[in-house]
Structure 1
Amino acid sequence: MPRIRFRNDVSPDSFWTRITGQKWSKYHYFVFVHTFMSYAMLHATRKTLSTVKPSLIHTWTSNTTTPDGPIFPTQQAAAEFLGILDTGFLIAYAIGLYICGILGDNYNPRRLLAFGMMASSICVLCFGYLTETFHVYSPLIYSFLWILNGFIQSVGWPVEVSIMGNWFGHNARGAVMGAWSSCASVGNIIGTLIASYTLFLGYQYSFLIACSLLFIYSFLVFFQLPSAPWEVSSENLPGQMEEEQEEDQDEPTERPPPIGFLKAWLLPGVIAYSLAYACLKLVNYGFFFWLPFYLHAGLHWPESYADSLSTWYDVGGILAAVLAGAFSDHMRSRTPVVFIMLLMATVSLYIYAHSPESYNWNAFLLLVAGFFIGGPANMISSSITADLGKCEQLRGNAEALSTVTGIIDGTGSVGAALGQWFIPSVQHWFGWDAVFYGFIVMILCTALCLCPVLYKEHKDRRQHRSEEVDALLNSDSDENASDDIQEVRRRPTNSNV
């Protein structure tokens, strides 16, 4: 009777090994889960404001808000103030990204992240819960707390991308970081669900629950998150695949020195992707901040109904981040994937601008729009940024990933901040159709910014192919020459000569 032999190399993580091209230790799981959930919690607290905007507007324009009457005379004035809050948040967020990107390459990322989560939870608690509980309605206090929250939350993304880039190699970045970059969309969904299920109690409880979860999770980050492999004993790490060892043989075994801020700007592709992300993030954050308000005020659906419907946009972004990221791992460059998705995004935006007032149609079209807008945004801010921060010019010589992430995401936040300043005014004077047409223009500008990168990559590929052909021809000519020499040596000599 033949014996059945079982493979010895089948293990619970063999699936992830085949998908990502590297073996996962328990530290890889810790890093993935804790960075994913920590940024999701940060985004959930950020999303809470956009989901309760109608309730805030009603409170601020109510006659019982203060003894002297409402703090805003009309709903339009309150909506414009919310636009100012979003703009101030993003400006502070952008400034903070440039600063925190540098700090992430100079100080311990784990401690920076835990401190930022704790401080952000306190700001959100004061902004949304304490002001309503003690009936402190002051535009100045609201502005100070939310802008401060924007600056503090900027520590999250560059530090976490840096930690992920330290643990996962180039061959795994598209699939792993594509899936990981969906943390922002998951955070949006968490924040939306918290608001939709607690809104009947009062909008202040949405802020209370979101900031409480963020504060609790900050302790897990502080005690369980290793920043890089060199913080862990090499005996606890699995051996890497042979191909990855050959590719990453120059990777440092200890933390390299940080790169300068100006030098990081001059790395290949950083300026182009920074400008592109500024245009794209304007659109992505336009949906992030104003989609629930559009569904409520523009399509006249109940607030909780609009909040749950808006999650389909984030679902599309999650699917795109995973699928497009994994697909780009098998290509020479991720830029063509992003470029094609941007062209499709213009079509999806035009169709959604003329969508009928149907829940099913809106859910489907939001899923498609999120796929082609949120997908490229997630790729640029995660896997592409990690590639730029770990380029060949820096391998093993400098720590640049956190700084590059801060530059690209910070420039994107500047564009997003400008967008939130104009969206309420454009909607008021020209309607929601004009807002969506403006989004289409910004998507085209994003694709235009990536054209120089596409041209350079195409030129480099042609040069590489020509060098390969020349090398092949030279090797063939050398072989032919050696064959001729051997033939002459084999010929009989003529003694009469």
Structure 2
Amino acid sequence: MPPSCCGYLSQYTHHHLVAFLLTFFSYVFLHASRKTFSNVKVSISAQWTPSLQNGSAPAFSPGETWERNQLFANEEEATLFLGALDSIFLFSYAVGLYLSGVIGDRVNLRYVLCFGLCGSATVNFAFGTLTEWLHIYNVYLYCSLWVLNGLLQSTVWPCIVAVMGNWFGKTGRGFVFGLWSACASVGNILGAFLASSVLKYGYEYAFLVTSVVQFAGGVVLFFGLLTSPNEIGEEDAGESSSACVNNGKYLCASGLSTDCQTGLGPVDTDAHWPLMSEEEDEAEEVEYDRNCHSVQRADQGSPKAVGFFQAFCLPGVLPYSLAYACLKLVNYSFFFWLPFYLSNNYGWKEVEADRLSMWYDVGGIIGGTVQGLITDFMGKRSPVLALSLLLAMASLVGYSHSPADKTTNAALLAITGFLIGGPSNMISSAISADLGRQDAIRGSRGALATVTGIVDGTGSIGAAGGQYLVSLIESKLGWVSVFYFFVVMTGGSIVFITPLIMTEASAMWRERQTRHHQL
């Protein structure tokens, strides 16, 4: 951990741990359920077409039911429809994120989270299990259920980021959120494991298991989650201290320090605040006691919820939203298509492909944590992201030419996941929390879920358009062209955050020059 966070760690209580674990595992279960669809695409494609390419009968359908309920004439048509379903889900998910962020800042976060988790679990059960048990095969029904699923799942991410932002302050946020944002990758691994474990009984049982687990997680979260320290009579991390020892003083969340021996008023410090300009870093006058808790606040009015368009215009929101649109396209293409690609391109069994795809998520877990820790040391986010994305472009080219060796493929997947999944996790969690807590909206707490919804929603729009393009490019040009498409999109992410990179790089240069002159 960075030295500046030692004091901050002492502020953690069992309430922080419970909030961390409940929000973490709620999204683990959600992503496990979401991952199921990509893990069983080969089986679903076989169920929806007359026969496999080798002419053998489908594994999971009686012959008399088969001919009566086939949806598509061949595997290519089924693959295109699977890509269309991915896009349908992501478009509805994106629209829902814009709405859910606004709702999450105005309604009890616990109610919204429970509704989204339990509702989505029910829809997944209906989509993958109930339709198969009742032998209902209908394109319009599948599309309708997947639209509803996208809307319900969109309620979860903005709200759990808001809960984490309430409990964990600015100091050390890169590491804490980097570690916490591994929830999506852990969910992918769990989903792949659960699906591969029961796939031999039929793809409907993969949906059944993950849906039950997700529904149970929603019930536990409803009864166990405290959405903010305010619920136990304390100030949340966005308003109160993020007390960190620094040469005998404490750095507080306002960007000021106070001598805790005297409890006297604020003194300007050179605290690192990524994403904030010098003008935005000016804080209101506040007094603190020896524990760095505010004694007197200039603004005693009740916090206002920031409007959607006001949040969209906040500094840094639009560049990171557009960058995330490109990056999430690549990240979610791996999420939706990797098991299918491994099985289709290398001829590996579906269960083996599912388990091999976990290495991408392992790389993402490590990448988000390590890169978050580095950004805490540097006090800047965008330069670290830019370097990782530059290396990711090279890794994508390398992976596109991976030999048909499982060990080599797994190693390249882990490296690619580290370089793509890491920045993706950082933007969707720590950076979104930074943007939703910046001083430009001081006194308006109701912005964290809204900003997170905007960033993730814009990212999902990019990812939605990308999923159909992946299936289209693959059918016309092949998988190698798909990976070069990913390279171009990754480069686009760097382009959009270039102004922020230049701003933060120049700030780092000025800080270095200042320290040099002081010496």
* C-alpha distance in 2 between matches for 1:131 and 1:87: 21
Identify the residue that residue 34 of structure 2 maps to in structure 1.
46
Map 1:147-226 onto structure 2 (within 5 A).
147-226=147-226
Quote the offset at 1:66 in angstroms. 5.1
Confirm or deny that 1:345 pairs with 2:379: no
Give the residue type in structure 2 aligned to 1:196: S
* C-alpha distance in 1 between matches for 2:135 and 2:207: 15
Identify the residue that residue 247 of structure 1 maps to in structure 2.
252
Identify the residue that residue 43 of structure 2 maps to in structure 1.
55
TM normalised by structure 1 equals 0.87
Identify the residue that residue 380 of structure 1 maps to in structure 2.
427
Quote the offset at 1:27 in angstroms. 0.8
Identify the residue that residue 307 of structure 2 maps to in structure 1.
260
Aligned residues of 2:241 and 2:252 also touching (Cα < 8 A): no
Match of 1:29 among 9, 12, 17: 17
Map 1:44-443 onto structure 2 (within 5 A).
44-62=32-50, 64-65=64-65, 68=68, 70-234=70-234, 241-243=243-245, 246-248=251-253, 256-443=303-490
Give the residue type in structure 1 aligned to 2:243: M
Aligned residues of 1:65 and 1:137 also touching (Cα < 8 A): no
Segment of structure 1 superposing worse, 168-177 or 288-297: 168-177
* C-alpha distance in 1 between matches for 2:465 and 2:225: 35
Identify the residue that residue 6 of structure 2 maps to in structure 1.
18
Aligned residues of 1:181 and 1:379 also touching (Cα < 8 A): yes
RMSD value over aligned CA atoms?
Answer: 2.6
Quote the offset at 1:144 in angstroms. 0.7
Aligned residues of 1:284 and 1:374 also touching (Cα < 8 A): yes
* C-alpha distance in 1 between matches for 2:7 and 2:411: 29
Deviations 1:173-217 (Å, cap 9, x if unpaired)?
Answer: 111100000000000001100111100011101000100001111
Identify the residue that residue 58 of structure 2 maps to in structure 1.
none
Aligned residues of 1:277 and 1:409 also touching (Cα < 8 A): yes
* C-alpha distance in 1 between matches for 2:408 and 2:422: 20
* C-alpha distance in 2 between matches for 1:336 and 1:344: 13
Aligned residues of 2:6 and 2:244 also touching (Cα < 8 A): no
More helix by share: 1
Segment of structure 1 superposing worse, 38-47 or 243-252: 243-252
* C-alpha distance in 2 between matches for 1:282 and 1:239: 37
Quote the offset at 1:71 in angstroms. 1.2
Aligned residues of 1:22 and 1:172 also touching (Cα < 8 A): no
Q: 1:191 to 1:20 in 2, by over 3 A?
A: farther
Q: 1:236 to 1:194 in 2, by over 3 A?
A: same
Identify the residue that residue 484 of structure 1 maps to in structure 2.
none
* C-alpha distance in 1 between matches for 2:225 and 2:302: 16
Q: 1:255 to 1:180 in 2, by over 3 A?
A: farther
Q: Any gaps of 5 or more consecutive residues in structure 1?
A: 1-14, 473-497
* C-alpha distance in 1 between matches for 2:234 and 2:408: 53
Q: Aligned residues: percent identity?
A: 44
3-state secondary structure, aligned to 1:330: helix
* C-alpha distance in 2 between matches for 1:179 and 1:22: 18
Quote the offset at 1:278 in angstroms. 0.2
* Aligned length, in residue pairs: 458
**Higher alpha-carbon Rg:** 1
Give the residue type in structure 2 aligned to 1:369: T
Quote the offset at 1:460 in angstroms. 4.6
* C-alpha distance in 1 between matches for 2:30 and 2:374: 28
Quote the offset at 1:234 in angstroms. 3.6
Q: 1:246 to 1:188 in 2, by over 3 A?
A: same
Identify the residue that residue 4 of structure 1 maps to in structure 2.
none
Quote the offset at 1:236 in angstroms. 13
Quote the offset at 1:24 in angstroms. 1.4
